Amino acid sequence: MTAREILHNAEEKMKKAVESMTREFSEIRTGRASPALVEGLHIDYYGTLTLLKQLASISVPDVHLVVIQPWDPSAIAEIEKAIMKSNLGITPSNDGKVVRLAIPPLSKERRQELAKVVHNMTEEGRVSLRTIRREAKESLEKLEKDKAVTEDDKFRGIDELQKLVDKYIAKIEELLKNKEKEVLEF
């Protein structure tokens, strides 16, 4: 493996770490309705765990309401059961055709708790980036030890690696800033 390949692999892993964080952030409830709140739920559909977004259309007619319209109305009971088991803290209602989730406004205390959760997720993201950096740095050092690259090339690679880490940490910080603003605004 070359230094270029090591840096390329590290960048791919960093992209995936940021994408994962973005997905996790989208699942945090902010007092405003979003299909992302429920589309990742797994529903027991005739004995098979199936994603809700594969079983129903999910719409948001207004900022405090999510409407789930299953293509098979017999799945409504299982959809409600999955929502109750999730940590959304929302009780679904249905009329036999659609499931409605009324999103209540968040209290100030709950918003602050969610901000802490967002900060913890961000720290986990930073840790994963640091882990990727450490593994790539060790690989670069091994290349030098095996005489596959010069010492100068190793240091150049480590510098480029640090620039990559800084770039992705800045992306994580931007995600944090936006999500924190979204969570804390009324």
Task: From first to last of the 186 residues of the chain, give the pLDDT tens digit.
Answer: 888 999 999 999 999 999 999 888 877 767 778 888 888 889 999 989 999 999 999 999 988 899 999 999 999 999 999 998 887 778 899 998 999 998 888 888 888 888 898 999 999 999 999 999 999 999 999 999 999 989 999 999 999 999 999 999 999 999 999 999 888 876
In this structure, are residues 39 and 123 in contact, taking their beta carbons and an 8 Å threshold?
no
**Domain edges within the chain:** 3-26+107-184, 35-102
Pick the CATH number of 35-102 from 3.40.50.300, 3.40.640.10, 3.40.190.100, 3.30.1360.40: 3.30.1360.40
64-to-3, 67, 105, 127, 132 alpha-carbon distances in Å = 51, 10, 8, 35, 39
Supply the pLDDT for residue 168.
96
Question: Based on the number of CB atoms within 10 Å of its own CB, is 22 exposed (0-12), middle (13-18) or buried (19 or more)?
Answer: middle
The two tokens of residue 77 are: 């009971």
